[in-house]
Chains A and B, each alone.
Chain A
């Protein structure tokens, strides 16, 4: 949003950047090697619902398309949840990670094509330990999430370890590990927590 727009009080809603998502398959390989985690097979898209029938219609379109599946034999599971802040989550599942990324991209671009790009908040992908306590790590490890911020076109790691607690050390480590594969959000203030994630 330009300086002039700001001064004149005409905020342009910030559009979502969809393309950076495709860095994820590469990141997943790095994660498997470095952290010994595998994709949980679930991902979520979080957005702020807008008022109106036009928006409801778009949502129904997405639901219908995802339910029909993409015909490639993937078990596309889907659910929709509202979270405590009034945002909605579309949770998709697929055994194959690349398919999962494509599905999420589909949800995003449908919303964006219908003019709801500005309502998109983030996408979340889960990575769980491959073999718990197998590689000498103490105790049961937490699921690690990669959160994609649409408005920034960047990712940040999020590792919740219980009720409103997060493992900052792990997150910073992930930042170092994934620095080359993904555009990681540089401003740590923007790594906001997503408690009660509806994504596994």
Chain B
């Protein structure tokens, strides 16, 4: 993960250097990008809950679920997150919230229906690990570059369109006009390239965070095999759901426990938000072997 983060940082630096070199006035865009991100971060719990239809439930409504969460947070020494349920038959779970004190963990009715209690606990341990790792903050900061570059691409493109790509400049200097056009075109390309690279890097980071949450979750419950079992069950169930439902859920994949992908969807592994099932099971199997043959 460090190399991914380093590359992202490098990309930031290169982008800023280019912008400075061409004397860009990017103050406004920076503020806009920062503003978008801040709102996304600060209200991440409300945004996620609203878009996935999650509703907070009380202890009286779901005593069993609360019991499982209670013990996990006591074991992990974390503040108790809000617990929510989303009415969807796709079995899945997510955790969101800007920090540990504003965290919310949500499971779908489909998950509650299909998993038995130890498997549910394993999934919740994975989700709580996301909260503990401050994944919302990390991914938000990482995506800042992507949003900035994306915004700039659009801005330059439209500025170029309306400005006639250097044709309507105020200087009467023809060479100046030509130069401006080249710079504008160049900036579009640069921004687009930066956006593409940052996209790939962010997805790589996302996959790493998923593996880290798998690992921490498995250690928390002391049973990697249980998490593996839950993972297989959820992934297996997802592939049985008619494709139409899944396509509705696909764009929320980054939040989910397992990506809601229709079978046969050939998502290039570079763009995947989650590591492949094999990779996750592999890590869990190694962890299980470590735990069995050595003291923790």
Contact = CB atoms under 8 A, between A and B. Distances in A.
Interface of A: 1, 6-11, 13-14, 48-55, 84-87, 114-116, 118-119, 121-122, 149, 151-152, 164, 187, 189-190, 192-193, 195
B296 interface: yes
Contact of B292 (A53, A86, A118): A53
A52 B293 contact: yes
Contacts of B293: 52, 54
A86 B133 contact: no
Contacts of B79: 187, 189
Contact of B133 (A7, A49, A87, A152): A7
Interface string B89-100: 000000000000
Contacts of A51: 222-225, 288, 291-292
A98 B80 CA distance: 33
B295 interface: yes
Sort A-B residue pairs by CB-CB distance and give the 7 closest, nearest first: A9-B212, A50-B222, A192-B70, A52-B292, A151-B77, A11-B216, A115-B295
B71 A87 contact: yes
Nearest to A54: B295
A85 B71 contact: yes
Interface string B66-106: 01101101111101100000000000000000000000000
A58 B293 CA distance: 13
Nearest to B295: A115
Helix, strand, loop or mixed for chain A's interface? loop
A119 B220 CA distance: 8
Contacts of B77: 14, 151-152
Contacts of A86: 117-118, 121
Given A51-B292, A151-B77, 14 more contacts: A10-B216, A11-B132, A14-B75, A50-B291, A52-B292, A54-B294, A118-B222, A118-B296, A151-B76, A152-B74, A164-B63, A187-B79, A190-B73, A192-B67
B3 to A, nearest CB: 13
A7 B63 CA distance: 32
Contacts of A118: 75, 219-220, 222, 296
8 contacts: A7-B133, A9-B213, A14-B77, A50-B223, A51-B291, A54-B291, A118-B75, A121-B75
A53 B67 CA distance: 28
Tell me what chain B mostly uses at the interface: helix, strand, loop, or mixed: helix
B138 interface: yes
* Most A C-beta atoms less than 10 A away, residue of B138, B215, B222, B224: B222
Contacts of A49: 222
Interface centre among A8, A11, A14 (most CB of B within 10 A): A11
Please tell me the size bucket of the interface on B. Answer: 35 or more
B296 A115 contact: yes
Contacts of B246: none
B133 A9 contact: yes
A48 B221 contact: yes
A54 B71 CA distance: 23
Contacts of B224: 51
Contacts of B221: 48
Contact of B129 (A11, A84, A114, A122): A11
Contacts of A193: 67, 70
Interface string B48-68: 000000000000000100011
Interface in B131-151: 132-135, 138
Contact of B134 (A7, A53, A84, A85): A7
Contacts of A164: 63
A149 B76 CA distance: 11
Contact of A85 (B121, B225, B295, B296): B121
B271 interface: no
A85 B132 contact: no
B21 to A, nearest CB: 31
Nearest to A119: B222
Contacts of A11: 76, 129, 132-133, 216, 219-220
A113 B137 CA distance: 36
Contacts of B220: 11, 13, 118
Contacts of B280: none
A10 B212 contact: yes
A109 B241 CA distance: 49
